[in-house]
């Protein structure tokens, strides 16, 4: 049983691991196409999860629960991971990709406000506006020189696919999969992702792989550092009552990724790029720290 002091550091470690996923993609993609990388990653991950399930013997969901988990997996993993990898492969910088998909809490709050009738505070509205202005600053003003964050129309569409995939998938996860065991539920999510990635690789890619040491190392990190370690940390936080707090740390992901990309790939930021990331980060923080609440209904 981890000590309370150790538990306070676990969400931060989770976010650091999450941020390295964008870096792992950057390292792996020179040696294989994005959907091929993800298909291999998912099949290895499924094998690891089968071992964990055999050891811990969790309860398997019903067929309905399995289908719900696979639907969520198609969005949270297939659309999100596929969009992220495809965006980076199409030329978008890892830091900018992280920034765009990091808007997920803002988009979720906006959906809850517009279509679900939830209340939104002034701080949240401020956060929404800051997030939009921050991304606009990066996209429109952050490319003032050749070393600034890079993107093109195709990579931008892939990144937006990832953003909407994880947003809708998260909402469906909360609605339909809250009571499903995390190990078996995640197994079905990864299974759906593996099937989708295999189909996309068969249809659109050559499936050629250059098995260089860097590719193998990146693939192993994506499996054990992200698909395994990050999800186990998430399960630990939920078990210890920290799951409701983990979202407050996600606003750290874009600057951490941008810093790692700068150190490893020389993805330098302009002043506008740094300012845009700062605005977006603070905007997400304001939205997360003030969760939306349902509108009070008048009693008849």
Q: What's the pTM?
A: 0.76
Which pLDDT score is estimated for 295? 43
Over residues 111-118, the mean pLDDT reads 67
Confidence check: pLDDT of 246 > 50: no
pLDDT tens, residue by residue, 212-234: 999 999 999 999 988 888 866 76
Confidence of residue 260 (pLDDT cuts 50, 70, 90): confident
Which pLDDT score is estimated for 221? 92
> Tokens representing 30?
């020179």
**Residue the block writes with tokens 């304001």:** 286
């Amino acid at each position: 049983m981890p000590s309370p002091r150790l538990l306070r550091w676990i969400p931060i470690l989770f976010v650091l691991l999450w941020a390295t996923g964008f870096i792992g993609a950057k390292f792996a993609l020179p040696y294989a196409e994005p959907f091929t990388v993800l298909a291999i990653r998912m099949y290895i991950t499924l094998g690891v999860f089968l071992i964990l399930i055999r050891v811990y013997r969790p309860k398997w969901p019903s067929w309905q629960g399995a289908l719900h988990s696979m639907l969520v997996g198609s969005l949270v993993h297939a659309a999100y991971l596929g969009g992220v990898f495809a965006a980076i492969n199409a030329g978008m910088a890892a830091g900018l990709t992280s920034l765009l998909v990091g808007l997920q809490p803002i988009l979720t709050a906006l959906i809850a406000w517009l279509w679900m009738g939830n209340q939104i505070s002034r701080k949240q509205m401020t956060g929404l506006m800051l997030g939009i202005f921050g991304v606009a600053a990066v996209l429109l003003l952050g490319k003032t020189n050749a070393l600034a964050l890079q993107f093109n129309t195709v990579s931008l569409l892939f990144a937006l696919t990832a953003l909407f995939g994880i947003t809708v998938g998260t909402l469906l996860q909360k609605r339909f999969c809250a009571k499903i065991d995390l190990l078996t539920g995640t197994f079905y999510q990864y299974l759906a992702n593996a099937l989708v990635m295999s189909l996309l690789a068969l249809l659109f890619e050559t499936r050629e792989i250059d098995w260089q040491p860097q590719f193998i190392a990146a693939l192993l990190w994506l499996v054990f550092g992200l698909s395994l370690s990050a999800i186990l940390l998430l399960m630990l936080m939920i078990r210890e009552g920290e799951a409701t707090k983990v979202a407050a740390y996600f606003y750290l992901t874009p600057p951490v990724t941008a810093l790692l990309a700068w150190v490893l790939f020389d993805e330098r930021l302009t002043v506008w790029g740094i300012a845009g990331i700062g605005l977006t980060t603070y905007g997400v923080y304001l939205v997360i720290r003030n969760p939306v609440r349902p509108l009070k209904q008048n009693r008849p």
